[in-house]
């Protein structure tokens, strides 16, 4: 009985101490609330040649970057739910495509395709952010991307 009484406070202490490392459920990844200034030059989205040199072999990898290259200023205003802002210092979804992360992470890739499709439908970055927050991008099958995505 004494062991059980001693174990209970230790368990509570351990749980409390570990909570500081748990990700909050309402944590929104980094993004820019406003578009970049017109004179701002964003880091370029990697080209097909750069992707192939980095090891891209899947058709969806090339296609996703091609789509991202059409909407970099929209991607700049969107968060990335893989939380690469924490691990890689990304400042928005656009950061994923100025490096190789977007070809390695299905979350980034799906969000990029989702952002492109919603932009083509006339959605604003704020509306696209809401879709990303609700995980609407998860329905995108990267392996079935066509040339018309």
Average pLDDT of the chain is: 83
| Backbone φ and ψ of 92, nearest 5° | -175, 175
Examine the pLDDT at 137 and tell me if it is beyond 50. yes
Query: What pLDDT, in 10s, does the model give residues 44-85?
Result: 999 999 999 999 999 999 999 999 999 999 999 998 877 776
Which of 43-52, 82-91, 110-119, 138-147 bottoms out in mean pLDDT, i.e. has the lowest? 82-91
**Long-range contacts formed by 87-95: CB under 8 A, 24+ apart:** 90/30, 91/30, 91/31, 91/32, 92/30, 92/31, 92/32, 93/31, 94/42, 94/43, 94/45, 94/68, 95/43
Rounded Cα gap, residues 105 and 19, in angstroms? 27
Rounded Cα gap, residues 120 and 113, in angstroms? 11
Query: Which residue in the block uniquely carries the two structure tokens 């928005």?
Result: 92
Would you tell me the crossing angle of helices 125-133 and 106-120 to the nearest 10 degrees? 140
DSSP secondary structure letter of residue 77: T
Query: Residue 147: its pLDDT value, please?
Result: 66
Which of 18-32, 57-71, 127-141 bottoms out in mean pLDDT, i.e. has the lowest? 18-32
Would you tell me the crossing angle of helices 59-68 and 106-120 to the nearest 10 degrees? 50
């Amino acid at each position: 009985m004494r062991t059980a009484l001693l174990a209970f406070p230790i368990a509570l202490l351990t749980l409390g101490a570990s909570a500081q490392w748990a990700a909050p459920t309402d944590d929104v990844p980094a993004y820019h609330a406003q578009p970049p200034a017109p004179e701002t030059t964003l880091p370029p989205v990697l080209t097909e040649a750069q992707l192939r040199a980095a090891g891209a072999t899947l058709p969806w990898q090339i296609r996703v970057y091609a789509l991202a290259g059409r909407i970099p200023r929209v991607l700049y205003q969107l968060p990335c739910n893989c939380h690469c802002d924490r691990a890689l210092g990304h400042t928005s979804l656009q950061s994923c495509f100025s490096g190789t992360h977007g070809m390695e992470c299905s979350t980034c890739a799906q969000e990029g395709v989702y952002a492109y499709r919603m932009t083509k439908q006339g959605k604003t970055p704020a509306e696209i952010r809401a879709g990303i927050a609700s995980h609407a991008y998860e329905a995108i099958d990267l392996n079935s991307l066509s040339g018309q995505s």
